[in-house]
Amino acid sequence: MDLILKNSSEHGEKEHENFQVFHLEWERVEIPYAVFSWMLITFFAKLGYNKIPFANKLPESSIMILIGLLLGIFFFLVNMTVITLTPDIFFLFLLPPIIMEAGYFMPNRLFFDQLGTILLMAVIGTIFNMFTIGFSLYGLSSSKLFGEELAKLEYLEVLLFGSLIAAVDPVAVLAVFEEIQVDEVLNIIVFGESLLNDGVAVVLYHMFEAFEEKGEAGINGADIGLGLVSFLVVAGGGTIIGIIWGYVCAWTTRHMKSVQLMEALVTISMAYLSYLTAEIFHMSGILAVTFCGITMKNYVQKNVSDSSNATIKSMMHILANISEMTIFLFLGVITVYNESYYFNFWFIIATVVCCLVWRVIGVLLLAKLTNLIRIKKISGIEQVIMMYGGLRGGVAFALVLSLKSPHKYLFVTTTLAMVYFTVFFQGITIKPLVRLLRVKTRSNTDPSMTERVTNRLMDLAKLGIGDILGEQSEIPLRTRRVYKNFDEHYLQRLLLRDRKPEPKFQETFDTIIQNDYLTKMGKKPSGHH
């Protein structure tokens, strides 16, 4: 009685086989097993990151890449085939939860207040970067800096590469900016850019992909015209799909008192379906799910039960967090696992330098432009953080993996190098930089006297109106109109704000209150000046 351990797919031979007590059937459960195993691996990596004391010094994303590298080496040594990053896994499963969370927790007011600047950076900035990076690399390749072999790079090919490397990556921005906790306005400008540039990046990428397939000769004026129309379709279509799903979800949650249990699942499903619907039509899924979240949020929060609200929030956080970590883990694993590399030192250096230089120039130009009409200007220090926030990550890498260009592996290698540079060099140095430049951070942004007065006034007014209306209604009094008609400078002078010392980095709230007190008492406040 031999207990045979054999794979059930080897059913070929037909002598007398005993009835098999043990079967092994791996293929059938491979996909769900891989998904949930990766989830657990990510979780244990994160647990390890939190338990090991010195690991906290580095950003989580960089540690995840390192763990991914070790895992990749392990899988390579034991000769194990694993399911890892593919463009489809990235765009259909890992990216949507991250953007969904971002859209759902987007501070709507702040976002729409800054929309002008965000769109300028996202549309003009990305196109600017793409063409400048593309043509710089084309010029450098023609001058044979990268050697003879890369001297014959076609300009369409390099522009295609430019289109994918130009866009700032939302996942990397979220991961890095979450740790540095800069001021909300600065945060929303950089993060908003990384979200909204997706429309541009997708269009440019698909446009140059299509152009490259045709070859240079096949392109005519109509194609370029259609390319421009296409931008409106991809960005506008994605946004509209998102808004429609957002309202569908808002409407649905209004009518599901009898099946409250499912509120969370329905909300998350609809947000995800908005992404997938946009993807079917090759429109921007990122824009769709962002605007779906922005649209539905306020309705859903009022419609669903408290427990569903808690479930929605915690599920979105969990899913986004695990997806983010998995992306960085996969970037590490695939570094070992990648089928082929084409390593050209100077091309990598040129790409990194071009990305940095053109980002600096782009931000300088566009900040100058936007400051012409902004009331609250973007300061020099904030511009430095915007330049530094030009991070590249998984989106570019997933796009480059699906490339069909003859120099695919050159671009894959270079993109991976760019991602490593971004995550390790920029990700690790941004925290000290923020401290060095004394950038306003979220926790110690001191409300100006004007803001304090306005806030108190508004709160009291709302309280009074609430009393009159007899319910705890949240009235949107603080609309943009109120802010716009407010003569800030007049009030500042009136309230003698200039006499108050400007609070510096990490000055605690206690000191501010103490200083206020001293000022009132007629004494000179202590502390920094």
- The residues in 45-64 that bind a copy of itself, with binding defined as CB under 8 A, are 46-47, 50-51
Nearer to a copy of itself, 218 or 380 (CB): 218
Query: Which of 6, 9, 29, 528 forms a contact with a copy of itself (CB under 8 A)?
Result: 29
Nearer to a copy of itself, 320 or 391 (CB): 320
CA dihedral 196, 202, 205, 211 (to 10 degrees): -130
Q: Provide the sign of the torsion angle of the four alpha carbons 433, 59, 87, 295, taken in this order.
A: negative
Instruction: Considering only residues 9 through 28, tell me which ones interact with a copy of itself, judged by CB under 8 A.
Output: 16-26, 28
Does the footprint of a copy of itself cover residue 115 (CB under 8 A)? no
Task: Locate the DSSP E strands across 222-321.
Answer: none
Task: Compute the distance between CA of residue 426 and CA of residue 388 in angstroms, rounded to an integer.
Answer: 7
Task: Compute the distance between CA of residue 488 and CA of residue 481 in angstroms, rounded to an integer.
Answer: 13
Burial 315-339 (b: 16+ CB within 10 A, else e): bbeebbbbbbbbbbbbbbbbbbbbe
Strands 5-7 and 22-24: parallel
Instruction: Considering only residues 321 through 340, tell me which ones interact with a copy of itself, judged by CB under 8 A.
Output: 321-322
Compute how many residues bind a copy of itself; rule: CB under 8 A. Answer: 72
Stretch that binds a copy of itself, among 136-144, 179-187, 254-262, 462-470 (CB under 8 A): 254-262
Does the footprint of a copy of itself cover residue 346 (CB under 8 A)? no
Query: Which of 151, 262, 375, 457 forms a contact with a copy of itself (CB under 8 A)?
Result: 262
x/- map, 303-322, a copy of itself, by CB under 8 A:
----x--xx--xx-xx--xx
Stretch that binds a copy of itself, among 123-131, 133-141, 275-283, 289-297 (CB under 8 A): 275-283
Element (H, E) at 5: strand 5-7
Using a 10 angstrom Cβ sphere, with 0-12 exposed, 13-18 middle and 19 or more buried, the burial of residue 271 is: buried
Stretch that binds a copy of itself, among 29-37, 61-69, 78-86, 372-380 (CB under 8 A): 29-37
Nearest alpha-carbon partner for 61 in 98, 105, 89: 98
Instruction: Considering only residues 387 through 416, tell me which ones interact with a copy of itself, judged by CB under 8 A.
Output: none
Does the footprint of a copy of itself cover residue 216 (CB under 8 A)? no
Stretch that binds a copy of itself, among 137-145, 174-182, 250-258, 345-353 (CB under 8 A): 250-258
Smallest distance from a copy of itself to CB 261, Å: 6
Q: For residue 22, which phi and psi values (nearest 5 degrees)?
A: -105, 130
Smallest distance from a copy of itself to CB 470, Å: 32
Q: Where are the alpha helices (DSSP H) in 95-220?
A: 95-104, 108-113, 115-119, 126-142, 155-166, 170-180, 184-214
